[in-house]
A and B are shown apart, each in its own frame.
Chain A
Amino acid sequence: MSESTATQVRGASPAPRSTVAPRRSRTRLIVVGVLLLLLLVAPLYVNEFWLRTGFAVFGAIVGAIGLNLLVGTTGQLSLAHAFFLAVGAISYVYVSGESGGIGIVKLGGLGLPPLIGMIVGVLLAGLAGLLFSPIAARLRGIYLGVASLGLVFIGQHVLNSWDTVTGGFNGRAAPEFSLFGFHFANQDPLLFIAGVPFREAERLWYLGLVIAGASYWFARNLLRSRPGRALQTLRDSEVAASVMGVNVQRYKGRVFLVSSMYAGLSGVLYALSIGSIAPESFGLEVSIQYLAMIVLGGLGSVGGAALGAVFISAMPLVFQKYADVLPFVGTAGEGGLAAGEAARFLYGLAIVLVILFEPAGLAGLAGRFRRRGRDAGRDPGGGPIAAPAAAATGSSTTDVPSDRPAQGSST
């Protein structure tokens, strides 16, 4: 009799737990699944403007996740992100571009397949990060922020001066992407899916989706691994981290490496999305935009960084498109704000307000909303919250007899 109840209880006790925990993860799974599905079918329904914006956003997501690993997770303020973006973009354009000339400028180029260009871009950006990391590892907090500021200006100078590679002041065109003979361009081969012509915008959309998804996944896993936890400890206290056996210098160097590789990839995507590169696209403002993304999204949260990237990078483009509909936004000089200015005002304001009132950013807001939703779901019935608790206490009391030998042996 007692045995049967015990088994019954034991059989029942995991049940409520398993319904509560998986229900949460199931809703999450559903949300993620629906989102993914929407993103996958979007090119069938959405026009070219949104697809192009989407590709730019995917690029920004990659960059923001990378910066977030450095600033949000590890607590190293860096304003040099634009520089690493530039390294990635330039390497791609140089390695995959054809040599030739625009006007008096002679352009060099290796003409290798774009995939190799992309990989080289990522690796060279990582190398640049690694070269900077001796400085980064020695400097603390705010000194690093200002030192990295220098990198942006030096990068700008190099971009303007080294014109055989970068095209100088006017920049140069970025070669189209192709993968094993499949071109991410308007023709060649012509492709129709469900009656919708798949042109450059549609093809690039999927490329961006895959890359952004992989970047997100990698960062999530990184944060849950030992290095990820080491980096978070590093942010909270370097002394504590080194006492726990974390090699502070080496980890700082490595996180710079990873972050700048992310930036390099993002730079390649940027070059693809604009179709050309110019020095002015990699100025200090870009670094600040990325900083705004991760602050808005919530420092340290990978999902937050992605969300922040969506807002900040899409905003100017959308403002530009709907300039005549939106209030305050208009053509410059006629009292209205230019699209870029309106966007700058908004993200400047967003940075200030987020840090003042919600330091955890959008991710923090979402978390609070989710918690409130869960509480609200439990309260009126009283059942869902009471039942697991009762079951838990019940199971523990009935479990005691069977656990006693173990307890007895320990005392």
Chain B
Amino acid sequence: MTQFLSLLLNGVSLGAIYALIALGFVIIFKASEVVSFTQGSLLLLGAYTIARLSHPLGFWLAALAGIVVTALAALLVERLIINRLRGAPVISLAIVTIGVDIILLTELIRRIGSDILNVPHPWGGRSFRIGDVGISQNRLIAILVAGVLIAIFFAAFKYSSWGVAMRASAEDGETAALMGIRLGRVSALAWVVAGALAAVAALFLVGAPTPGVSPSVYSVSLRAFPAAILGGLDSTGGALVGGLLIGITESLAAGYQDQLLFLGRGFGDVVPYVVMIIVLLVRPSGLFGTKELTRV
């Protein structure tokens, strides 16, 4: 039972991180109709910047720099490429982000090499215990920060003028533009927010129990894709639910690995994709995604 509870708690923390990344996917998709495959390498960029700068600048400044750099990189991608392709087919847009992803990822992996860069979190690698249930402090703080960020995001999405503008442009871009909403600005801001969220996720993803920044962080960030799809690509609430669902199932599958041995070692790493495919079989637009209707 304690094992179950501790796996559940760890799953929630992992899920909170996934939710941050998935939220980035969803915001970008809502604002510019692009499924951004760049998110994974942006996350790695954030992690790399934080790790590299934390020695000269100290942890807090490095974290801030990492978030700013990642957000700027996302902005650059949007301004230089996505903005020029307005109205292009969804598939071309997705493919172009894959191209950007390859370039960025190749450069980052080349720089990281085979090292594991360490990020000196001030809270260190200690773990926190409630009775017998343990969780690393890093992950506990991740839950808190992600919770606060997501709450702020939802509030902003609902009440701020940016949130209203974004919802309007997602609803009907043409009408929104006629009402004086600048679609380009909405889309640019969405990319900036998504980039920043990815960097925050990276900050916690490279802390305990993960050893540090290595190219494998990228494949972890890819698992936020199922989270976003699972909840429905155009549903912000869905991203949250999807993230938690994926995080918990992954943690449980990894924890009960010995009982699941007939499925092969390391099944925890693929379970997000299995869950995604099963959900998509039942609900093709995800759990909370709007069904696409066609009228003739």
Q: Which residues of B contact A269 (CB under 8 A)?
A: none
Please classify the interface of chain B as helix (H, G, I), strand (E, B), loop, or mixed, using the class held by over half of its residues: helix
The 0/1 profile, CB within 8 Å of B marked 1, for residues 278-289 of chain A is 000000100010
Q: Which residues of A contact B101 (CB under 8 A)?
A: 348
Q: Which residues of B contact A345 (CB under 8 A)?
A: 102-103, 106-107
Closest 5 CB pairs of A and B: A161-B264, A351-B99, A150-B273, A348-B102, A348-B103
Please determine whether B102 and A344 come into contact, CB atoms closer than 8 angstroms. yes
Please determine whether B35 and A239 come into contact, CB atoms closer than 8 angstroms. no
Please determine whether A146 and B99 come into contact, CB atoms closer than 8 angstroms. no
A122 within 8 A of B: no
Please determine whether B96 and A142 come into contact, CB atoms closer than 8 angstroms. no
Question: How many chain A residues have a CB neighbour from B under 8 Å?
Answer: 49
Q: Give Cα distance in the complex from A119 to B106, angstroms.
A: 37
Given A147-B280, A348-B100, does the pair A75, B91 have CB atoms closer than 8 Å? yes
Please determine whether A138 and B284 come into contact, CB atoms closer than 8 angstroms. yes
A154, A291, A332: the one within 8 Å of B274 (CB): A154
Q: Give Cα distance in the complex from A153 to B35, angstroms.
A: 19
Q: Give Cα distance in the complex from A284 to B101, angstroms.
A: 13
Say how far A166's CB is from chain B's closest CB, in angstroms.
Answer: 11
Please determine whether A153 and B94 come into contact, CB atoms closer than 8 angstroms. no
Given A351-B99, A355-B88, A355-B95, does the pair A160, B274 have CB atoms closer than 8 Å? no
Given A75-B91, A146-B35, does the pair A351, B96 have CB atoms closer than 8 Å? yes
Please determine whether B277 and A150 come into contact, CB atoms closer than 8 angstroms. yes
Given A140-B284, A161-B264, A356-B81, does the pair A288, B98 have CB atoms closer than 8 Å? yes
Chain B contacts with A in 68-99, Cβ cutoff 8 A: 81, 84-85, 88-92, 94-96, 98-99
B25 closest partner in A (C-beta): A146
Residue numbers of B with Cβ under 8 A of A are: 35, 81, 84-85, 88-92, 94-96, 98-103, 106-107, 110, 113, 222, 225-226, 228-229, 233, 263-267, 269-270, 272-274, 276-277, 280-281, 284-286, 292, 294, 296
Given A145-B35, A149-B222, A157-B267, does the pair A135, B280 have CB atoms closer than 8 Å? yes
Q: Give Cα distance in the complex from A333 to B115, angstroms.
A: 13
Please determine whether B106 and A351 come into contact, CB atoms closer than 8 angstroms. no
Given A135-B280, A142-B233, does the pair A356, B84 have CB atoms closer than 8 Å? yes
Given A149-B225, A150-B226, A356-B85, does the pair A157, B103 have CB atoms closer than 8 Å? no
B103, B110, B229: the one within 8 Å of A143 (CB): B229
A77 within 8 A of B: yes
Q: Which residues of A contact B85 (CB under 8 A)?
A: 355-356
Please determine whether B102 and A238 come into contact, CB atoms closer than 8 angstroms. no
Given A157-B269, A337-B110, does the pair A147, B102 have CB atoms closer than 8 Å? no
Q: Give Cα distance in the complex from A284 to B263, angstroms.
A: 21
Please determine whether B284 and A347 come into contact, CB atoms closer than 8 angstroms. no
Please determine whether B96 and A352 come into contact, CB atoms closer than 8 angstroms. yes
Q: Give Cα distance in the complex from A194 to B16, angstroms.
A: 69
Q: Give Cα distance in the complex from A177 to B148, angstroms.
A: 61
Q: Give Cα distance in the complex from A150 to B88, angstroms.
A: 25
A134, A139, A151, A347: the one within 8 Å of B102 (CB): A347
Q: Which residues of A contact B35 (CB under 8 A)?
A: 142, 145-146
A284 closest partner in B (C-beta): B222
Q: Give Cα distance in the complex from A157 to B269, angstroms.
A: 9
A355 closest partner in B (C-beta): B96
A140, A161, A351: the one within 8 Å of B265 (CB): A161
Given A145-B35, A161-B265, A243-B296, does the pair A355, B274 have CB atoms closer than 8 Å? no
Q: Give Cα distance in the complex from A153 to B225, angstroms.
A: 12
Q: Give Cα distance in the complex from A140 to B94, angstroms.
A: 14
- Interface centre among A135, A243, A338, by most chain B C-beta atoms within 10 angstroms, is A135
Q: Which residues of A contact B269 (CB under 8 A)?
A: 153, 157
Q: Which residues of A contact B225 (CB under 8 A)?
A: 146, 149
A217 within 8 A of B: no
Q: Give Cα distance in the complex from A141 to B296, angstroms.
A: 19
The 0/1 profile, CB within 8 Å of B marked 1, for residues 339-351 of chain A is 0010011011111
A328 within 8 A of B: no
A295 within 8 A of B: yes
A158 within 8 A of B: yes
Q: 29 A-B residue contacts at CB 8 Å?
A: A71-B91, A75-B91, A77-B94, A138-B280, A140-B292, A142-B94, A143-B284, A143-B286, A150-B274, A153-B222, A153-B269, A153-B270, A154-B273, A158-B264, A161-B263, A161-B264, A161-B265, A238-B294, A292-B99, A292-B102, A295-B95, A332-B110, A333-B113, A348-B100, A351-B99, A352-B96, A352-B99, A355-B88, A355-B99
B98, B222, B284: the one within 8 Å of A291 (CB): B98
Say how far A381's CB is from chain B's closest CB, in angstroms.
Answer: 40
